[in-house]
Amino acid sequence: DWTPDSFVEETVEAIQEKVGNDKVVLGLSGGVDSTVAAVLLNKAIGKNLYCIFVNNGLLRKNEFQSVLNQYEGMGLNVKGVDASERFLAALAGLEDPELKRKAIGKTFIEVFDDEAHKLTDVKWLAQGTIYPDVIESVSATGGPSATIKSHHNVGGLPDFMKLKIVEPLRAIFKDEVRRVGATLGIDPELLGRHPFPGPGLGIRILGDITAEKVRILQEVDAIFINGLKEWGLYDKVWQAGAMLLPVNSVGVMGDERTYEKCVALRAVESTDGMTADWVNLPYEFLQKTSNEIINKVKGVNRVVYDISSKPPATIEWE
Q: Does 144 bind ligand XMP (CB under 6 A)?
A: no
The residue within the footprint of ligand XMP, chosen from 126, 146, 166, 267 (CB under 6 A), is 146
- Residue with smaller CB distance to ligand XMP, 9 or 96: 96
Q: Does 306 bind ligand XMP (CB under 6 A)?
A: no
- Residue with smaller CB distance to ligand XMP, 207 or 299: 207
Strand partners, 122: 23
Q: How far is the CB of 89 from ligand XMP (least distance, A)?
A: 20
Which of 253, 189, 264 has the alpha carbon at shortest distance from 220? 264
257-273 burial, b at 16+ Cβ within 10 Å, e below that, comes to: ebebbbbbbbbbebeeb
The residue within the footprint of ligand XMP, chosen from 128, 142, 181, 227 (CB under 6 A), is 142
CB atoms within 10 A of CB 153: 13
- Residue with smaller CB distance to ligand XMP, 73 or 312: 312
Q: Is 29 annotated as a binding residue?
A: yes
- Residue with smaller CB distance to ligand XMP, 42 or 141: 141
CA–CA dist 92, 210 (Å, integer): 7
Q: Does 310 bind ligand XMP (CB under 6 A)?
A: yes
Q: How far is the CB of 192 from ligand XMP (least distance, A)?
A: 15
Footprint on residues 186-215 left by ligand XMP (CB under 6 A): 195, 197-199
CA 24 to chain centre: 22
- Residue with smaller CB distance to ligand XMP, 44 or 67: 67
Q: Which one of 45-53, 121-129, 138-146, 173-181 is the stretch in contact with ligand XMP (CB under 6 A)?
A: 138-146
Footprint on residues 2-61 left by ligand XMP (CB under 6 A): none
Q: Is 31 annotated as a binding residue?
A: yes
Which of 200, 177, 212 has the alpha carbon at shortest distance from 297? 212
CA–CA dist 178, 33 (Å, integer): 8
Q: How far is the CB of 303 from ligand XMP (least distance, A)?
A: 20
| Residue pair 33/178 in contact by the 8 Å Cβ criterion | no
**CA angle, 239 then 244 then 246, to 5°:** 140
Q: Is 254 annotated as a binding residue?
A: no
The residue within the footprint of ligand XMP, chosen from 34, 56, 218, 239 (CB under 6 A), is 239
The residue within the footprint of ligand XMP, chosen from 42, 127, 141, 301 (CB under 6 A), is 141
Q: Which one of 14-22, 140-148, 158-166, 292-300 is the stretch in contact with ligand XMP (CB under 6 A)?
A: 140-148
Q: Does 122 bind ligand XMP (CB under 6 A)?
A: no
Residue positions forming the annotated binding site for ATP: 29-35
Residue positions forming the annotated binding site: 29-35
- Residues near ligand XMP (CB under 6 A) are 101, 140-142, 146, 195, 197-199, 239, 273, 310, 314-316
